[in-house]
Structure 1
Amino acid sequence: MSRSDSAVHLVRTGALTDTAPYAYAAATDAGARLVFAAGACPLDDAGATVAPGDIAAQARQCVANLLTALDAAGATIEDVAYTRVLVATTVREDLVTAWTVVHDAFGEHEVPSTLHGVTVLGYPDQLVEIEAVAALR
């Protein structure tokens, strides 16, 4: 559920299919402070990649790390206006696995998002990364 004081307004339209599990656009209030989160990676506190080979577990760690970064910037998940989810795979089902974790974490705050299958990510054994842009009043 979106906060009423959020600077982010999700945009839906009847002119596009309603089968996509996210808003097609997000608008922010004039003067909102933007927060650009670096790609959240599936790293533990020691910097090791968690759960090699497990896309869902890595996606959960990415979400947790994203929430920590947002909190440090004074933002919450409901301040997010856009995400990009990267998954090192050529298998569509792997994309769906990562997306399901992210979508569930965001709940009713279904921000516009892009889901990419990529060749490789930056850390050893890394399969998932999540980028985000948030807006604050």
Structure 2
Amino acid sequence: MNEYLNPTELAKPSGFSHAVVAAPGRTVYLAGQTAMDADGAIVHPGDVVEQFRRCLANLLTALAAAGGGPEHVVSIRIYLTDVGEYRRRAREIGAVWKQLMGTVYPAAAGIGVAGLWDDDAMVEVEGVAVVPGTGNDGASSRAA
């Protein structure tokens, strides 16, 4: 089980942990995921909440292929083209987080960027997870 650390000397975190001590297991590095569907199109152009939902769902789909779930995420980075809009819709985004991640709050960073690879993308999410077990769990893979 991962250990989430939030020292009292630091400001109380909201939606993240200051540090995570990962349990033994396989480290899974999760590539940045945008709100792209299986056909490669960005869904919900202009809607940061729905794009965040799809990004996080895509990230969790990649993690599931490695045998992991939300509880195994230890670090996450959220890249945003409009930090102000993300802040304005923070309650809705928080509800999406709870729906998909539950009460798992990994170490996190929100980073404002000038743009993402796809012009319609407003959000990109990448992360690191530690999945219990060793070796190949039989998950399928596909070369890039």
TM norm. shorter chain > 0.5: yes
> Aligned-pair distance for 1:129?
0.5
User: Which residue of structure 1 lines up, in the alignment, with residue 141 of structure 2?
Assistant: none
Conserved 8 A contact 1:95-1:117: no
One-letter amino acid of the counterpart of residue 74, structure 1? G
> Aligned-pair distance for 1:72?
0.4
Among 29, 43, 52, the residue aligned to 1:50: 43
SS, match of residue 61 in structure 2: helix
User: Which residue of structure 2 lines up, in the alignment, with residue 10 of structure 1?
Assistant: 4
Task: Report the RMSD for the aligned CA atoms in angstroms.
Answer: 1.9
Conserved 8 A contact 1:85-1:130: yes
User: Which residue of structure 1 lines up, in the alignment, with residue 114 of structure 2?
Assistant: 119
Deviation by residue 1:56-103 (Cα, 9 ceiling, x = unmatched) = 1100110111111000011101000000001112x4242453653564
What 5-or-longer segments of structure 2 have no aligned partner? Answer: 133-144
User: Which residue of structure 2 lines up, in the alignment, with residue 92 of structure 1?
Assistant: 84
The two structures have a TM-score, normalised by structure 2, of: 0.80
User: Which residue of structure 2 lines up, in the alignment, with residue 59 of structure 1?
Assistant: 52
The two structures have a TM-score, normalised by structure 1, of: 0.84
Conserved 8 A contact 1:26-1:81: yes
One-letter amino acid of the counterpart of residue 11, structure 2? T
What 5-or-longer segments of structure 1 have no aligned partner? Answer: 1-5
SS, match of residue 89 in structure 2: helix
Q: How many residues in Structure 1 have an aligned counterpart in Structure 2?
A: 129
SS, match of residue 66 in structure 1: helix
User: Which residue of structure 2 lines up, in the alignment, with residue 132 of structure 1?
Assistant: 127
CA distance in 2, matches of 1:67, 1:18: 26
CA distance in 2, matches of 1:115, 1:121: 14
Conserved 8 A contact 1:87-1:95: no
